Structures are given as structure tokens and as C-alpha cells.
Amino acid sequence: MAEKRILILGGLGFIGKNLYETLSRQGHSVTLVADVVDESDSFLTADVKKNLVRGSILDGKFMEGLVEGFDVIYSLAGRSGASDSIRDPYSDLDRNLKGHLNILEACRKKNTSAILVFPSSRLVYGKPMHNPVSEQHPLNPESIYAIHKLTVEHYYLLYQRLYNIKSIILRISNPYGPYQKFGSNNYGILNWFIHKALTGEEIEIYGEGNQKRDFLHIDDLVAVLTSCITSSSMFGKIYNIGYGQGISVRDTVNLIVENVPGAKVRFKPWPEMDRKIETGDYISDISLIKRDTGWQPIISFEDGIKATIRFYEKSNA
Amino acid sequence: MAEKRILILGGLGFIGKNLYETLSRQGHSVTLVADVVDESDSFLTADVKKNLVRGSILDGKFMEGLVEGFDVIYSLAGRSGASDSIRDPYSDLDRNLKGHLNILEACRKKNTSAILVFPSSRLVYGKPMHNPVSEQHPLNPESIYAIHKLTVEHYYLLYQRLYNIKSIILRISNPYGPYQKFGSNNYGILNWFIHKALTGEEIEIYGEGNQKRDFLHIDDLVAVLTSCITSSSMFGKIYNIGYGQGISVRDTVNLIVENVPGAKVRFKPWPEMDRKIETGDYISDISLIKRDTGWQPIISFEDGIKATIRFYEKSNA
């Protein structure tokens, strides 16, 4: 594959870091953008710092000056968290909606030849009416976060239609793996559970933990993201991205407990807001992305969990 | 019907003025809100001025102080215009999206018992795949304006789900009639045509004028809007509102020409942006609203056009 000039917005986030490592290894020229940089972060090697630009997608002028010359732009910046978005809808509007309008307007003015990749979410479907969920499933977003993901999907499709800016939209299920934040369950319950297990805190399961999730290892997600560079059949399309199988939250925790000696678990009633926006079981139908690109996930949940536990054991040591 | 306390946001707009007249006549206590007031507007009688509050839905604090005590709130504020929204997406975002978040947040804090009525648009469907278009038709909004209408629909549904704020969403086709602005074709091509005819300017038809529209007389629309006060079966639902029949733009113009002596017509190539976002024929399937409320449009297109021409002849005289 020829070397590409690649921009990762939100480059120091969970997906951004994993994607950076793979793209750099493949020989691409990768620029990372982040608005907040934690100087103590061990990810920040001399090489990474050389490729890092500080700035925010909220700054339209900054974005205009930035986007020129890139072949691919990953729009990973933004903030996760369905519950948080309900507590503070304005902040979600700025970060997760206006920020993307800035990216698109910057590209319209300065770079209409880039490929844009937007990570949407399974949450645009709301509570599934059936599983697995294909891209044709009705859209019933049940949080401000999910509503804005859907809005931004439409932004990207519109800019492709009006200005021929190539866009790819990925409705991602529940990714997990190295480099995920631990601050809250906004950034993936699985990593949150692993962190609790490793630090000796109680893992809290809401309700009975019966709800199934479609957990996807980040390496499998990164494989899709890198294929966006070369798969012109993906332009202007929306794809479900997941492992394609469901596992209950309780079984997930059991697997963590088996692999982390001394892990403690507590069952807890659903917090009011989380219960209201809980979607029930979710399993992706990933036939479309398989057919169009040949991609398929290869990391089993058991292998993925073990590898993730080992990564965090080492990085916490 | 018992007297209700009613708030019309965007009360000096096309729909707001017509709705105000009917609701006042029915004996309700109606408050109008407008951010811009043209003092020379003959609509501003002493009575109207008494019921008028100046302020903007963009001002969250103002909205919080305003909404308490009302039984019904019509969220008619905002700005029309698909082409304009593409030229200035940020402004559309503020007015047509953030403004509605302000209304909903104000109600969440100060008035969760009001009925909220949101006028969405047929444009959320984009280019129809078939006609007539029912509420189940796929949603492919093709302008920032239409994308934001869809986003706000989701906001209203979410606030009903989370906070039991009763919401009714109306996907309105092409309303026409008295009190519509003439400044541009943003506010309904039909009134724009009538204005051109009456002032002796050329009516401009883009292309051949074959595209069909579902024109709805404002009195029929007002009848639906007032039924929202009493029809609890409408809460939390989305309805298509139109006449349910299509008439081509060219036939529309012919009818105006027959009724306005000396009217001139010119055919003109589509402007680039208008052509890109033109939806083709659109005819509403209105069976759902008919079934739930018994409402049906009663003003034929010919009668409606003649009455509208007479209104503007008088008001321009």
C-alpha cells in the first residue's frame, strides 16, 4: 500500500492510539490531533510527540488551517457517554455535533479530496426490536449522545452528496482493549470492569447483568479502520461494525474474575437514568461490511479479554 | 372546550399569526413570543401587543422564565430555508436546533405538564422513493435544515420518554395562505409566486415546473394545530400533515395567472444548489392523522389560491 498522509482527530483517545500504532507500523505518515494532553502519559514517546498537534475540533479556524493535504481523516474526536449527554446536552451538542460541522466545513473549503471516516455508534438503533441488528433496523436513538451521532451521520452523507467529500460511517458496537480510559463507564464497561478487578475494587453489575453486548476487540476495529483507506466501495455508506455475537454482562464479568485472582463482584440496582436508557440485548449483523470488504473479526472474546487483562497488568505495574 | 393558556413561540411568523387568530377567537388565553418585531406590521393591533412578549428561544434563561403555567406550547420559532441552511449551517444549528433544546430544557425545569407541538417538515424524507409518502418512509434529509428538523424530532421524543413531557410532531408539507413573508422563496413558493404576480414582477419557474407539491391551506393546518390541545392520542407521535394530493408547480402558476390579470411567467434553469436539493414530487399520505383525530383538509387548492390572492390584494392595497 502506498504511503498515505493521515490525520487522526482525537488521536490520544482509545481508538486513536491503537489506530496510530498500526498505521505508523504500516509506514504511513500519521498526524495526531488532541486538545488535552496528559504529559505523564507513557504513550507520548518522542516519535508520538513529533507527530502530535494540539488543537480542538471546536475551533473552526484551527480546523481550516489543519486539514489541507491529508489523504484520510479519522474524525475520532468527541466525547463518549449517553448518560452524561442527558445531564449536559449543550456540551454534547458542541463537542459531538458542532465539532463535526467544523471538520466538514474545513474540508469543504480546504480539502475535498480526503476520505473522511466517522465512528458512529450502535446506540443510533436504540432498543433493538430484534437481533442481530442490520443497518436497515429502525433508528430510535434514546439519548442526546445517540441523537447527535445520527445527526452527524447525516452531515457526512450530505457533504458527500453536495461536495463529493468521500465519507465512511461505522456504527460500532462495544470496542475494548488497550489504551481505554478508566475514569468512568462512559468509555466501555469492559475496560472499567477490568480496571476495578485489577485495583481490587468491586465490579458493580447493574441488575442481574443479563443484557447481552457485542464486544469487539480494538485490533479488529483497527483492521476495519485501516481498510477504509483503500476500499472505495465503502464511500458514502454506513456499516455495522461488531464481533457479531452477544455475551451477557454477567458472563463477561465471570471471565474477568477467572483471570484476575481476587476480583470482587457486587450486584446493584440500576441507577434511574441508566435504566431508562438501557437498550437491552444488542448484537450486530455484520454481513454488509464482510461482503463489501472481506473484513471479519478474528479475536475471540476469551483471547481478547485475556490479552487486555495482561496489557493493563503491565501498564499498571 | 375549556379555556387554555397557550404559548406560541415564533408568534409573529406565518403559522403563528394564523394560529393566534383562531385560538383567540376560540376564547383561549394566548401569549405570542417573537424576537424581531416590525412596528409597522398591521397585524400588531392593541390586543395583539398586549399578548406579545419579546424574546428569543436562543436565550435559555429567558425561556426558563417564560414557560411556567402554560398548558400548550407551540414551538414555531426558527428559520425556514433549505438552501440558506447549506450556505450557513452554523446559524441553522443555533436557531433550528439549539433553540429547541432551550425550549425543552426550560420545560424540563419549569413545566413538565405542558403539551409541546413541534412543526417538522416533509423534507426529512428527502427525495421520495414513492408517493404518497407515509410516516414509515425512509428518512434521507438532504439539507442542513432537514437534518436539524429530524434531530429536533428526536429531542422532543426523548424528552417525552425521559421526563414525560408530552410532544406532538407534525411533518408538514407546503402550507400557504395569509400572513406569509414575501422576502424569498424560503417561506413557501406559492405565496412568493402570488406576490410576484400582484406586484407585476415575473414569476420564475425553475426547470419545467413539473415537480408536484402537496399544498395545504393554512386554515386546514391551523385546524390540526388546535386539535393538538385536546387529542391525547397524538402524544409522542409523528404525523404527516398535508392535503394528500399533488399539483405541479406549473399548474399552480397557471391557476395564479388565471386569477391575477397581467401576471407574467418566465422559465429559468435550476440554480445549482436548488437543483441539488430538489426532492422531486412529494405527496403526503395523511391516513394516520385522519384515523387518530378525524381531521381532514377541507379547502380545495382552487378555493385556497383564490382566497389567498384576495387576501394579499387587500393587504397590499
pLDDT band at A315 (very low <50, low <70, confident <90, very high): confident
Q: Which residue of B has its CA nearest to A153?
A: B147
How many percent of chain B have pLDDT more than 90? 86
pLDDT band at A317 (very low <50, low <70, confident <90, very high): very low
Residues of A in contact with B155 (CB under 8 A): 144, 147
Instruction: Choose the mutation target among A142, A158, A161 for the interface with B, i.e. most B CBs under 10 Å.
Output: A158
pLDDT band at A183 (very low <50, low <70, confident <90, very high): low
Average pLDDT over residues B289-302: 96
> Does B154 contact A158 at a Cβ distance shorter than 8 Å?
no
pLDDT band at B317 (very low <50, low <70, confident <90, very high): very low
| Burial zone of B61 (CB within 10 Å; 0-12 exposed, 13-18 middle, 19+ buried) | exposed
Average pLDDT over residues B33-55: 95
Gap from A178 CA to chain B (nearest CA, Å) = 34
Residues of B in contact with A139 (CB under 8 A): 139
Residues of B in contact with A86 (CB under 8 A): 162
Q: How far apart are CA B149 and CA B93, in angstroms?
A: 10
> Does A276 contact B162 at a Cβ distance shorter than 8 Å?
yes
Selected residue with higher pLDDT from B215 and B182: B215
Q: By C-alpha distance, which of A200, A1, A179, A4 is closest to A76?
A: A179
How many percent of chain A have pLDDT more than 70? 97
Q: Cβ distance B54 to B75 under 8 Å? A: no
Q: How far apart are CA B75 and CA B146, in angstroms?
A: 16
Is residue A56's pLDDT more than 60? yes
Instruction: Choose the mutation target among A154, A157, A160, A167 for the interface with B, i.e. most B CBs under 10 Å.
Output: A154
Counting one residue from chain A and one from chain B, the pairs whose CB atoms sit within 8 A come to 52
From A144, A155, A276, residue closest to B147, measured CB to CB:
A155
Over residues A284-303, the pLDDT tens digits come to: 999 999 999 999 999 999 99
Range of lowest pLDDT (A175-184, B149-158, B274-283): A175-184
Buried/exposed A166-189: b ≥16 CB within 10 Å, e otherwise:
bbbbbbbbbbbbbbbebeebbbbb
Range of lowest pLDDT (A208-212, B113-117, B272-276): B272-276
> Does A105 contact B86 at a Cβ distance shorter than 8 Å?
no
A7 three-class SS? strand
Domain architecture of chain A: domains with CATH: 5-176+217-242+285-298 (3.40.50.720)
Q: By C-alpha distance, which of B294, B293, B299 is closest to B220?
A: B299
pLDDT band at A184 (very low <50, low <70, confident <90, very high): low
Q: Which residue of A has its CA nearest to B143?
A: A158
| Beta pairing, strands B166-172 & B212-213 | unpaired
Is residue A181's pLDDT more than 90? no
| Burial zone of B43 (CB within 10 Å; 0-12 exposed, 13-18 middle, 19+ buried) | middle
pLDDT band at A150 (very low <50, low <70, confident <90, very high): very high
**In the prediction, which pLDDT does A316 show?**
62
Is residue B316's pLDDT more than 80? no
Over residues A166-180, the pLDDT tens digits come to: 999 999 999 999 988
**CA-to-CA separations, B278 to A184, B148, B271, B275, in angstroms, rounded:** 46, 17, 10, 5
Point out which residues pair with A29 in neighbouring strands.
A5
> Does A141 contact B151 at a Cβ distance shorter than 8 Å?
no
Residues of A in contact with B143 (CB under 8 A): 158
Whole-model pTM?
0.94
> Does A93 contact B97 at a Cβ distance shorter than 8 Å?
yes
From B101, B105, B151, residue closest to A151, measured CB to CB:
B151
pLDDT band at B258 (very low <50, low <70, confident <90, very high): very high
Gap from A260 CA to chain B (nearest CA, Å) = 38
From A98, A141, A155, residue closest to B154, measured CB to CB:
A141
How many percent of chain A have pLDDT more than 90? 86
Q: By C-alpha distance, which of A149, A153, A124 is closest to A137?
A: A124
**In the prediction, which pLDDT does B286 show?**
98
pLDDT band at B120 (very low <50, low <70, confident <90, very high): very high
Average pLDDT of chain B is 94
Residues of B in contact with A279 (CB under 8 A): none
Q: How far apart are CA A86 and CA A89, in angstroms?
A: 5
| Burial zone of B115 (CB within 10 Å; 0-12 exposed, 13-18 middle, 19+ buried) | buried
Gap from B264 CA to chain A (nearest CA, Å) = 33
Over residues B9-26, the pLDDT tens digits come to: 999 999 999 999 999 999
Residues of A in contact with B105 (CB under 8 A): 89
Instruction: Choose the mutation target among B90, B151, B169 for the interface with A, i.e. most A CBs under 10 Å.
Output: B151
Average pLDDT over residues A86-109: 96
Task: At B258, give phi and psi (nearest 5°).
Answer: -60, -30
Is residue A264's pLDDT more than 50? yes
Gap from B109 CA to chain A (nearest CA, Å) = 12
Over residues B166-199, the pLDDT tens digits come to: 999 999 999 999 988 776 566 678 888 998 999 9
> Does B151 contact A155 at a Cβ distance shorter than 8 Å?
no
From A90, A139, A151, residue closest to B147, measured CB to CB:
A151
ipTM of this predicted complex?
A: 0.93
**In the prediction, which pLDDT does A274 show?**
82
Is residue A130's pLDDT more than 70? yes
